[in-house]
Amino acid sequence: MNKRFVAACVVAMALAFTTGWAVASGDASAATAIGPQYAQLARLAGHWTVQQSMWTAADAPPVIDRGSATYAMVLGGRHLRQELRIASGKPFEGLGYIGYDDVTGKYYSSWMDTNFAGIILAYGTYDPASRTYQFVGEMGAKGGAPVPVRELMRIADNDHFVYEYYETRGGKEALAIRLQYTRLDG
């Protein structure tokens, strides 16, 4: 084997290891090195308290529950993973990813949880003036057409943001869930 090739492999492995460690330990430097979109997402890494408001009927007030979330940059600083737990009558867990696709130039959101067996995929943009991500996608529905969804994530400041999830049923869009996040480890 060529000594230069072996040396290059060792350097590449060391770089990959240290970059992965930096992201896993909360250091956003790896995300910063690969682009501003990733560094921007990395700012959300940390532990959060969550207040969930869920509308189960248009004419009823929302059901309010509390929970917690952990956000972490994963896979070399390219994807922001959220683990969400809500304490309600029925324990709820969810797992989502937000990232930026530098091929399409779009942000994406994916979501899975204990309430359904499918996955929600949505794609969108970020508006720096309003500090808002907007995603549009669809959710599967048993025995019917997919349900159009829209997600908004408004960043208030480094320690607060709001996520809203809308569904369109019967041609009418309605707010289904609002999550209000407050950072714990500021």
Report domain extents, the chain.
3-183
Which token pair is 132?
């808002």
Q: Which DSSP state fits 57? A: S
Q: 180 and 50 in contact (C-beta within 8 Å)?
A: yes
> What element of type H or E holds 72?
strand 63-74
User: What does the pLDDT look like over 77-104, one tens digit per residue?
Assistant: 999 999 999 987 788 999 999 999 989 9
- In degrees and rounded to multiples of 5, residue 67 shows phi and psi of -165, -160
What is the rounded CA–CA span in Å between residue 5 and residue 87?
A: 53
Q: 162 and 154 in contact (C-beta within 8 Å)?
A: yes
User: What does the pLDDT look like over 14-54, one tens digit per residue?
Assistant: 333 333 333 444 445 555 568 899 999 999 999 999 999 99
Give the pLDDT mean for 67-72: 96
Q: Choose among 108, 92, 95: nearest CA to 41.
A: 108
| pTM for this predicted structure | 0.80
User: What does the pLDDT look like over 141-179, one tens digit per residue?
Assistant: 888 889 999 999 999 999 999 999 999 988 999 999 999
**Which CATH number does 3-183 carry?**
2.40.128.20
Which pLDDT belongs to residue 28?
52
